[in-house]
Structure 1
Amino acid sequence: MASFGEILRHPDDLYPLLKLKMAMRHSKNQIPQAEPHWGFCYSMLHNVSRSFALVILQLDTELRNAVCIFYLVLRALDTVEDDTSIAKDVKVPILLAFHSHISDHDWHFSCGTNNHKVLMDEFHHVTTAFLELDKSYQEAIKDITLRMGAGMAKFICKEVETIEDYDEYCHYVAGLVGLGLSRIFHAYGTEDLASDSLSNSMSLFLQKVNIIQDYAEDIKDIPNHHMCWPREIWSKYVDKLEDLKEKENSVKAVQCLNDMVTNTLTHVEDCLKYMKDIKSPTIFRFCAIPQIMAIGIFALCYNNVEVFRGVVKMRRGLVAKVIDRTNTMEDVYGAFFDFSQMLKTKVEKNDPNATKTLKLIATIQKVCLESGPMNKRFDYSLSIINQSIINMVMLFLYLTNDKLPIIIYRQEILHN
């Protein structure tokens, strides 16, 4: 829930915040109760990823089931990779063979913590649901799991040294997800099969955002945690990756951060091309919302030393706005233009990568400007008086946790 102070500073966040709150309640009510295995899968989806649960649950039923299981299978695989208590000689064979366990009701391997441990302990429910999917979905999920497990096993014994290593690692843990989703969308029948390069870029962009955003959390677990910042980049600024968190290295740390962000911006043009070709409105929102979130987080992280102190996040009200107002490609172009403009204002001329960063931003903005109209972000058509009255009522209801169907309905009428 957004803080009271945030709501006072951004009163126009209230409406999208309340819509998001109601959407989350509604999504929980969509959890199937009749079949225990599907009930477990959707409950687990909520428990291990609230943000992805929202975009997955707005898909049509058949596609929603396939994507839900795809996500849980890969989440389980990732749980094995992340568990530092598992010896390498045990972990590597499990990663390599994980694809063969998806359809085996008798297979069991307990690892991870909290909800991730529950997922592993009760994985037979995922297996039951997986076997009910159409064969085309099963084949895509199994193939991607095979390839991802092999890639993870490779990097268990290999450091991320070069930018080429970095892209390869991100391909295995994320790019393959993009390839798998494109195959699932195509099997569903509404989409042409996207090229592997575009599908890969879509997921590399998201993965690299997470790697950068999570530095402060991940570095705490050195040497147990597998850090993915490439030595080729960070060694230009410090002797050890851990040195970036030291206050005396703040200037070099920010320059390294900006270098990492600039590397990630190379994927944006491909992301825009991928989204432009999507036909289904629900698949479009599924893809576009995380992409806009990612460029928004980058605008906050760039040139921001706080990345090395803690996790830098978008405020909850802005997240709610992105979810509420991402429906068309015009919305995407508008958001990417605005967030890239925010990033552009933070580029300093003395930054070692300033020229390259500005060139990439110019390319992104050119694509947005030349692709047609861009919808304004966060613009309300309500009069100031109406907005103020509604905000006061909504604030009270938001803080008292009441249901808001009448207020939301009234707001929709005024807004439209």
Structure 2
Amino acid sequence: MGALSMLALLLTHPLEFRILAQFWLYHDKQRDITSSSEHATSGWDRKSMRRCWEFLDLTSRSFSAVIKELDGDLARTRSVDGAHWTILDEQNARSSRGILTTVGEFVFQRSTAVTATPILLICMFYLVLRGLDTIEDDMTIPDDVKQPILRSFHEKTVTPGWTFNGCGPNEKDRQLLVEYDVVVEELNRVAPDCREVIVDICHKMEVGMADYAHKAATTGSIYLATVSEYDLYCHYVAGLVGEGLSRLFSASGKEADWLQHQLELSNSMGTLLQKTNITRDYREDVEDGRYFWPREIWGSEEYGGFKEMKELYQPENAQRALWVQSAMVVDALRHAEDALDYLRLLKNQTVFNFCAIPATMAMATLELCFMNPAMFQRNIKIRKAEAARLIMRSTNPRECAYMFRDYARKIHAKAHPADPNFLRISVACGKIEQWCERHYPSFVNVAQSSGGGNASQVFDPLDARTRIVQLEQKQDRELANEKRRANGKPVVAETPAATWEVASFVAAAFLLVLTLSLAIVWLVMRFAA
């Protein structure tokens, strides 16, 4: 933001200005991958890796930022035994006498003559899937050309020198495929077990994408018919990304090995983000001829039975379109609880941030879209200050759960009783509220001691549940004392709370504030006179 923009923000939205100032001043800055001290882990000293970083910034600045903040060995995975591995064709594999390893249907040879080079694992995973998605999204590529490329992309993505320049001139990520050989070169440096994950996910995803693209091209049906078909499509394009990330987190050793087997939660994590984007990007997708909203929702007689998706943004259909929009939001919200469960499983802080920030932004985006007719006219996004606040707060499962709850409450507050989805919205938001109360009860707060020691639980004295917990704690102490007496050990006496100390601290704080206020008033009067 420029100086004038910042000044305008200060005058019109002072609270947002304060949040952005806090973000810029106190939020940890991402590492500088161009620094010479980072070359050993970022690969910036290699021309091909520098180009990969540039493509990451060009294709997604938001994901680029969170990837650069990942923990060192996760974003940068070395080759096996510090060696370089190259792909071999069938003839060379039979004649080779070197050290070989097999990953799926590919054979790699270990070369000790090449110095070990680090690679950005998640960065490469993103670029591979971005290249695949670019081909699938490009409507200018004929089906007879698109099908063989899509169905063999997992092979081409590890074939040295492979590129593709058949995308339309207006495809925004066309250049990534034109120079895809740099991605192939760097991907072939990845350790075989990690590369196997990327290739396997790419293979699964390309099959689903190819099937949907072929159906649209041969049947003339450009719509997803049912919600089940919509779920399957989101699984292919996003749920598999969640599965791949979980497998990479486990393979890197940053998360537990069993995380890779949490397929349902991983799928829901990716699906929540994908359905949020599909809901928000309605106008952009419709204008580009991409129709992802299922006909079962927008064509339902419950909302007046639209014949075409383009009818939703016509002014005379504004009210009915909002009912369709609320149905899309309800469908996305059913993945929120699984996303929260997934976040509770993560232990590494940078991995948690990597997953939590997009999830909380998805909830903020759903709240922004809900009952917002502007979504049908243009692409809307959450404000920068809101995004900065989410980034700073998305540091632990409890905070994320409370943000999910707060946005669910805002969605429910905007729901209209005349909406056919009113009860569904209430149930979906209630489930999120229930999840938060079950895992993080609202009457229990976490307080940090003044000396910077361990955090402790503080119960809300006005909540009736506090009395139940206190009685249970008292019973536990009495049972513990009885056992100590039975074993001949001294009983630990309870120390009553020193209320006079608390009162003295409050009085001292009050006097300090009063003194400072009087001093400020005196200074103002002194120098203003």
Global fold match (TM > 0.5): yes
Pair 1:314-2:325 in alignment: no
Matched, 1:282 2:337: no
Task: Give, in whole Å, the separation in 2 of the partners of 1:20 and 1:95.
Answer: 45
Aligned sequence identity (%): 36
- 1:299 deviates by 0.7
Cα offset, 1:51, TM superposition: 0.3
Is residue 20–residue 388 contact of structure 2 (8 Å, CA) maintained in 1?
Answer: no
Q: Which residue of 1 aligns with 2:276?
A: 209
Secondary structure of 2:205 counterpart: helix
CA contact (8 A) 2:138 2:171 kept: no
Q: Which has the higher contact order (CA 8 A, sep 6+)?
A: 1
**Cross-structure match for 1:63:** 74
CA contact (8 A) 2:33 2:44 kept: no
Work out the CA distance in 1 between the residues paired with 2:190 and 2:172: 24
SS state at 2:175 partner? helix
Distance change (3 Å), C-alpha of 1:16 and 1:91: farther
**Any conservation in 1 of the 2:298–2:324 contact (CA below 8 Å)?**
yes
Tell me what 1:398 maps to: none
- CA–CA distance in structure 2, aligned partners of residues 273 and 25 of structure 1: 29
Aligned length: 375
Contact 1:20 1:320 in 2 (8 A): no
* Matches for 1:168-317 after TM superposition, within 5 Å: 168-192=232-256, 193-194=258-259, 195-221=262-288, 225-236=289-300, 237=303, 238-317=306-385
Of 111-120 and 314-323, deviating more is 111-120
Contact 2:357 2:390 in 1 (8 A): yes
Q: TM-score, normalised by structure 2?
A: 0.67
CA contact (8 A) 1:44 1:115 kept: no
CA shift, 1:290, in A, is 0.1
Query: Is 1:14 equivalent to 2:20 in the alignment?
Result: yes
Give, in whole Å, the separation in 1 of the partners of 2:211 and 2:356. 31
Determine if contact 1:340/1:361 at 8 Å carries over to the other structure: yes
Say which SS state the counterpart of residue 379 (structure 2) adopts: coil
- Give yes or no for the alignment of 1:328 onto 2:328: no
Does structure 1 residue 84 correspond to structure 2 residue 139? yes
Q: 1:147 maps to what in 2?
A: 204
Name the CA distance, whole Å, in 1 between partners of 2:121 and 2:31: 22
Structure 1 residues 316 and 24: CA distance shift in structure 2, 3 A: farther
Seen in structure 2, the aligned counterparts of structure 1 residues 188 and 373 have a Cα distance that, compared at 3 Å, is farther
1:59 & 1:21 partners in 2: Cα distance? Answer: 15
Q: 1:371 to 1:6 in 2, by over 3 A?
A: farther
Pair 1:42-2:99 in alignment? no
Q: Which has the larger radius of gyration?
A: 2
Greater mean alpha carbon deviation, residues 257-266 or residues 320-329:
320-329
**Does the CA-based 8 Å contact 2:323-2:420 persist in structure 1?**
yes
Task: Work out which of the residue numbers 176, 188, 191 in structure 2 matches 1:131.
Answer: 188
Offset of 1:53 from its aligned partner? Answer: 0.7
Deviation (angstroms), 1:33: 2.8
* Contact residue 31 and residue 69 of structure 2 kept, 8 A: no
Mapped to 2, the partners of 1:50 and 1:87 lie a distance apart of: 30
Residue type matched to 2:196 in 1? E
Give the 3 Å change call, closer, same or farther, for CA 139–19 of structure 1 in structure 2: farther
Shift of 1:16: 4.0
Deviation per CA, 1:93-125: give whole Å up to 9, x if none: 110000001111132211255762221111111
Partner of 2:425: 357
Pair 1:337-2:398 in alignment? no
Structure-2 residue corresponding to 1:371: 439
CA distance 1:6–1:366, change in 2 (3 Å): farther
CA distance in 2, matches of 1:253, 1:351: 11
Q: Distance in 2 between matches of 1:82 and 1:16?
A: 39
Residue by residue over 1:229-267, the C-alpha shift from the partner in whole angstroms, topping out at 9 and shown as x without a partner, is 000000023121110010000011000000010011110
Are residues 227 and 364 of structure 1, via their aligned partners in 2, closer, same or farther at CA, if it must alter by over 3 Å?
same
Aligned-partner SS, 2:177: helix
Structure 1 unaligned runs (5+)? 377-382, 386-416
Q: Could you tell me how far apart the structure 1 residues matched to 2:270 and 2:138 are?
A: 23
Structure 2, unpaired ranges of 5+ = 76-119, 216-222, 446-512, 517-529
User: Contact conserved, 1:166 with 1:230, CA < 8 A, in 2?
Assistant: yes
Cα distance in structure 2, aligned partners of 1:121 and 1:70: 18
